[in-house]
Amino acid sequence: MKTISRIKQYLFISFLGIMTFGCIDNDPEIEELPSAAVAFTYEVIDDVYQLDYYVGATIQFKSLSALKGECVWDFGDGSEPVTGEVVTHKFATDGTYQVKLTVAGLKFNRQPILIKDIVPIMSIDSIDGGICEVLSTPVSISVELPNPENLTEEYLWVFPQGTTDENGNPVSTSTSRDPGKVKFSHVGSQTVRLQVKLAGRQLEEGRVNVQVAYNQDMPTLYYAVKGGNIMALKLVSNKPVGMNIYPFDMGISSGKHPLNIVYSEPSLYILDCGQQFTYVDDAAGILGDGRITVMSKDGSKVETMLSNVGGAAFNDPFYGYIEGSNLYFSNRNTGISKIGLNERNKVFSTTEFPWYVQNATLGYYNNGWSYGSMNACFTKINGTWYWCKTYNGTGIFRFTDGDILPAAITGGHPAPSAGVALSGMNPKSLVWDSKNQFIYFTVYDTGYEGLYRCTLTQFNDIGGTKSNLTQYKLTTTNNKSVTPITETGKGEGSTGEFIGISQLAIDEATGDVYFGLRSANPSEVKSGLMRYNKATNKIEHVIEGVEIYGVAVNNTKSKLF
């Protein structure tokens, strides 16, 4: 009897479930969609700033709908809807709003409108002679302030240290709309700031950089800041007391990993190997994202020279060297190609840009040199190529154009007669001082990390014995070595690929050598822009605390760029 009772209960519950859920309306909900029969346009109708949609601007909305009937406008900012075929509205705060027009209560359409907050628009007035020269050139800065509602305006100009008026009196701030002409006592990008209140409401701060030139012709150093912009610095050796030499912000992005930048009048060539600068499994050959960018020396023009975006990651451009009318550039794994300095908007392919030299077209290949990292500097000294290699056979491999084989080899072959320098060591960067006949180079072998200088004869005598390096090491004024990061996880890269000192650049006039240091021992030597000062025979900081990839010197002297 219990079994029959339970069956009856089960059937009753099932019947209730069928009755309950069977009554649910399972028809899909019809989504209300915008209608093409409803359309509208809008524009600013204030007397000024008619092309800009600012907070407080009077904006006219006009229905262009084919459907006729009452027009109801919802401006998406929480205000009450209004009616009419033509209406006006002011937005009180910045943002993107969805404006909705409904006609005859039947159909609607939406459009987004971007409302910008009011910010002071600052500009440098025309300068006599074209450049602002330190201490002497008066500069005036104009401001344009969108103020469609004619609200009360309050100004506070904030000038960089060392600013004076035309008569030489110190100026730090001004509360006038027009602060008058000012002069600057320091070289570099001098940032003038402007704080404005409208009816007591603080607006976003306005800024303008005044590029202040030196008062004598000097070389210019360019450097690529990690996660920042290309910077320029005048190389002034005997600046007046009290004058500071600050860098110029060129306003051009450094890129992701601009390991090398090279200069040839009148342009800077930025070799950015992209995000994938270490090993990446790119079987499809599509993960490349490197490019070579050309920047005019004053930053006014930027062009793409060569792109490898979407190509094989191993073909991204890493390091470069300019000779004559060609830029030679190496990839990570295979070799060096070349491109004419005047080429623009090219896409890399080995067909259009065949290898000038591959690792497998030199006699070293499979004779101490095999596949692997090529992401280290190369240059040419007295007609001989010097190519640093930091993995699978390390050292500086030297060869002439005549040593390059016509086809890749698969077995041993007599090595070029120039031989291997620093055999078994890990050289990362090098530069040749042709005027003083010195070679500068860096290595990151444990216990020998740092910067070295010697003659070519001494360089050859080092051989493969690391202890022979010691006498040529350069140190700071407190006798500390510039030790780059070589510990995985603390810097960028891995074995054979560390980015500690990625490039050296020489000021031909003084013999000074510049480089960016990612320090392994910041308590001893901080990271920053470094200089080997030939006059003192010591390494010193130029700028502390900045992380730098490539460096290049424009030896053509000028006051600005």
- In 3-state terms, what secondary structure has residue 191? strand
Tokens of 472: 């040529």
Which has the closest alpha carbon to 268: 317, 209, 320? 320
What are the extents of the domains in the chain? 40-115, 121-211, 218-558
Q: What is the distance between the alpha carbons of residues 272 and 167, in angstroms, rounded to a whole number?
A: 47
| Phi and psi at residue 233, to the nearest 5° | -140, 130
Sequence-distant (6+) residues with CB within 8 A of 75 are: 89, 91, 97, 99
pLDDT of residue 431: 98
Q: Give the pairing type, strands 40-44 and 335-340.
A: unpaired
Classified by CATH at the fold level, domain 121-211 comes out as: Immunoglobulin-like (2.60.40)
Class of domain 40-115: mainly beta
Task: Tell me what pLDDT residue 491 has.
Answer: 84
How many residues comprise the chain?
A: 561
pTM of the model: 0.85
Q: What is the mean pLDDT of each run of 10 residues along the chain (561 residues)?
A: 37 39 44 86 86 91 96 97 97 96 96 94 93 96 91 97 96 96 97 96 94 97 97 94 96 96 98 92 95 97 98 96 97 94 97 95 87 81 96 93 92 88 95 98 95 98 97 96 89 85 96 97 96 97 97 97 93
Element (H, E) at 190: strand 188-198
Which strand ranges, in their side-by-side order, compose the sheet holding 335-340? 319-323, 326-330, 335-340, 355-358
Are 121-211 and 218-558 the same fold in CATH? no
Architecture of domain 218-558 in this structure: 6 Propeller (2.120)
Per-residue pLDDT at 374 = 61
Q: Residue 184: what pLDDT?
A: 98
Q: Where are the alpha helices (DSSP H) in 373-468?
A: 456-462
pLDDT given at position 388? 94
Number of neighbours of residue 375 by Cβ within 10 angstroms: 29
| Residues whose CB is less than 8 angstroms from the CB of residue 329 and which lie 6 or more positions away in sequence, other chains included | 271, 292, 306, 317, 318, 319, 320, 336, 337, 338, 339
